[in-house]
């Protein structure tokens, strides 16, 4: 049986949960601890810990969902002073010997802890029924979220459904392995089961915690819509979906339940001022976000900003106005070395009156040299230092609206109202009027929706998944439309088209000899 090692190191558990409320567990076998899982406050603290752990994967989510999207540069930075990271992923040079990610992206450590949370809470007679149900709604939602990342990355994956090591210590190393699912459908069906359990456990309770920094019913409904939309459009086990009509109906019902609960911020910039203005955290557009804060945790977007030592003299902005030769973004020593940089022609896709352009980027140039420094998650200045403490939005209302547009388009309906709603907000305060979109063919609509998503969600870890899910007139993923600028990133030919999925890294393969024949097609021996 094809198996993988989920983590034999878990046999010697010594885990400390450092949650946002300073929850610390004794450095002992956490899951066997007789001092824990006794009170509601301990359960609440453990849930905070699960969210802290999720936050630790923020840049992994970016890597999986953004790097392969065709919008990032490779090579050296615009100044020529730094090498840009992840070049092999950006140019789609993925091999089992160098896949860019390893160990199933590390998600099984988090899944193990969610599994244990479910196991303990289901048996917690000290919790009132409503609280137990709410916690289980969160936990099943988190588990479905992790598995959905794995599914979209690898296809067939091992399904750890219980904290096996915590329940009974494996007698041998082999006992700690789990089989990879026989089919992609088996994995997807499990994800659907989990996210539906999550929605059911919330029982219509739209309560949100920590300014939307904890998983909620609306987050589960967004995930449910995302999962079922994927199921309706993306090939499974090499074949076109057979449940498209039913899946679209489920996805639409879920996203239409979310939309009335939220409202768009009047300006695009307001969505992302969460570091500078604390009241913006959890604003009325945010559905679920990973929380950052000064003195507690910062995000990874300092890697997208020039270093304070980079030579910037002689550069001008998009209007030809000279930018300050020293520190135009007021990095104030908060920048390190630029490691990720977006392509200039992505910036060029924005109209002059589209406010998203200059909220997302600082664009400047010198002759033929163009720079597009990300400033969407620029953070704030504290005591003279730049602190990258903006929240990272996982789901927000604009995505719900564009998801509804995509569902309607696949159903043969007019998505123009949703497209125009996003455009209207994007142009608000930009000195121009948003161009009105009129309903077109399926492909025209799909490309219009994709273009809005491409401009709206830069650096939010969405575009690679969009390219895989969204389709041209022939039903092929947009990832193969290399004739369209900044869209297609793969050739639909042998040697390329298998790269829709990632390879399992060689280290994971060789840790269990039975996995040597279980590599995703096209990667063995690379």
Give pLDDT tens digits for 51-76.
999 999 999 999 999 999 999 999 99
Whether residue 9 is predicted with pLDDT greater than 60 in this model: the reply is: no
pLDDT at res. 33: 61
CA distance linking residue 81 with residue 338, whole number of Å: 9
Tens digit of each residue's pLDDT (9 = 90 or more) over 191-244: 999 999 999 999 999 999 999 999 999 999 999 999 999 999 999 999 999 999
Under a CB-based contact definition with an 8 Å cutoff, are residues 229 and 241 in contact? Answer: no
Tens digit of each residue's pLDDT (9 = 90 or more) over 11-52: 223 233 333 333 222 233 344 466 899 999 999 999 999 999
pLDDT at res. 166: 59
pLDDT at res. 4: 37
- Give the pLDDT band (50/70/90) at residue 174: low
| Helical H segments across 234-305, by residue range | 244-258
Look-up of token digits 């589209």: 354
- Give the pLDDT band (50/70/90) at residue 169: low
Helix (H) or strand (E) segment spanning residue 387: strand 385-387
Tens digit of each residue's pLDDT (9 = 90 or more) over 73-89: 999 999 888 999 999 99
HSE at residue 497, side-chain half, CA atoms within 13 A, is: 10
Beta bridge partners of 364: 317, 371
Helix (H) or strand (E) segment spanning residue 337: none
**pTM of the predicted model as reported, rounded to 2 decimal places:** 0.93
With a CB cutoff of 8 Å and minimum separation 6, the contacts of 438 are: 416
Q: 374 — phi, psi (to 5°)?
A: -70, 130
Q: Sketch out the chain's domains with CATH numbers.
A: 1-66+102-205+497-526 (1.25.40.890), 69-93+292-390 (no CATH), 206-281+391-490 (1.25.40.390)
Chain centroid to Cα 520, Å, comes to: 22
pLDDT, greater one: 280 or 170: 280
pLDDT at res. 5: 37
Please name which of 460, 415, 428, 391 lies closest in space to residue 265, comparing C-alpha atoms: 428
With a CB cutoff of 8 Å and minimum separation 6, the contacts of 432 are: 351, 352, 353
Please name which of 311, 300, 268 lies closest in space to residue 398, comparing C-alpha atoms: 268
Indicate the range of 217-231, 430-444, 512-526 predicted with least confidence.
512-526
Whether residue 143 is predicted with pLDDT greater than 90 in this model: the reply is: yes
Please name which of 382, 366, 364 lies closest in space to residue 305, comparing C-alpha atoms: 364
Hey, what long-range contacts does 126-130 have (CB within 8 A, 24 or more apart)?
126/38, 126/39, 126/40, 127/40, 127/43, 130/203, 130/205
Under a CB-based contact definition with an 8 Å cutoff, are residues 85 and 339 in contact? Answer: yes
CA distance linking residue 86 with residue 340, whole number of Å: 8
């Amino acid at each position: 049986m094809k198996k993988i090692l989920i983590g034999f190191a878990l046999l010697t558990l010594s885990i400390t949960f450092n949650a946002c409320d300073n929850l610390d567990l004794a450095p002992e076998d956490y899951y066997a601890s007789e001092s824990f899982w006794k009170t509601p406050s301990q359960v609440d603290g453990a849930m905070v810990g699960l969210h802290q752990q999720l936050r630790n994967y923020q840049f992994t989510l970016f890597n999986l969902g953004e790097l392969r999207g065709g919008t990032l540069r490779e090579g050296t930075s615009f100044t020529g002073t730094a090498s840009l990271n992840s070049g092999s992923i950006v140019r789609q040079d993925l091999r089992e010997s160098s896949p860019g990610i390893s160990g199933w992206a590390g998600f099984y450590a988090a899944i193990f802890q969610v599994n244990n949370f479910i196991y303990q809470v289901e048996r917690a007679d000290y919790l009132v029924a409503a609280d137990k149900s709410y916690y289980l709604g969160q936990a099943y939602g988190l588990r479905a979220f992790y598995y959905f990342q794995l599914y979209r990355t690898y296809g067939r994956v091992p399904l750890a459904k219980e904290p096996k090591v915590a329940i009974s210590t494996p007698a041998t190393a082999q006992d700690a392995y789990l089989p990879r699912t026989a089919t992609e459908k088996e994995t997807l069906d499990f994800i659907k089961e989990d996210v539906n359990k999550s929605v059911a456990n919330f029982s219509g309770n739209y309560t949100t915690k920590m300014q939307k920094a904890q998983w909620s019913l609306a987050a589960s409904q967004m995930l449910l819509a995302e999962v079922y939309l994927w199921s309706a459009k993306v090939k499974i086990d090499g074949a076109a979906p057979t449940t498209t009509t039913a899946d679209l109906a489920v996805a639409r019902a879920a996203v239409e339940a979310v939309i009335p609960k939220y409202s768009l911020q009047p300006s695009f910039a307001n969505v992302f001022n969460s570091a500078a203005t604390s009241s913006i955290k959890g604003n009325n557009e945010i559905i679920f976000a990973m929380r950052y804060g000064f003195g507690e945790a910062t995000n990874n977007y300092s890697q997208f900003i020039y270093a304070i030592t980079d030579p910037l003299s002689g550069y001008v902005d998009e209007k030809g106005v000279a930018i300050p030769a020293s520190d135009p973004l007021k990095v104030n020593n908060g920048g390190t070395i630029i490691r990720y940089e977006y392509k200039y022609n992505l910036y060029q896709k924005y109209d002059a009156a589209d406010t998203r352009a200059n909220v997302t980027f600082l664009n400047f140039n010198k002759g033929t040299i163009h720079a597009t420094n990300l400033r969407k998650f620029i953070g704030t200045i504290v005591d003279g230092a730049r602190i990258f403490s903006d929240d990272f939005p996982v789901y927000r209302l604009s995505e719900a609206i564009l998801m509804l547009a995509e569902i309607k388009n696949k159903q043969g309906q007019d998505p123009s109202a949703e497209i125009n709603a996003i455009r209207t907000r994007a142009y608000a305060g930009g000195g121009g009027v948003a161009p009105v979109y009129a309903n077109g063919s399926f492909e025209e609509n799909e490309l219009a929706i994709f273009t809005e998503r491409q401009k709206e969600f830069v650096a939010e870890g969405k575009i690679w998944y969009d390219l895989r899910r969204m389709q041209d007139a022939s039903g092929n993923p947009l990832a193969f439309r290399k004739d369209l600028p900044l869209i297609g990133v793969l050739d639909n030919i042998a040697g390329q088209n298998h790269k829709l999925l990632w390879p399992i890294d060689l280290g994971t393969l060789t840790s269990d000899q039975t996995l040597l024949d279980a590599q995703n097609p096209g990667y063995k021996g690379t």
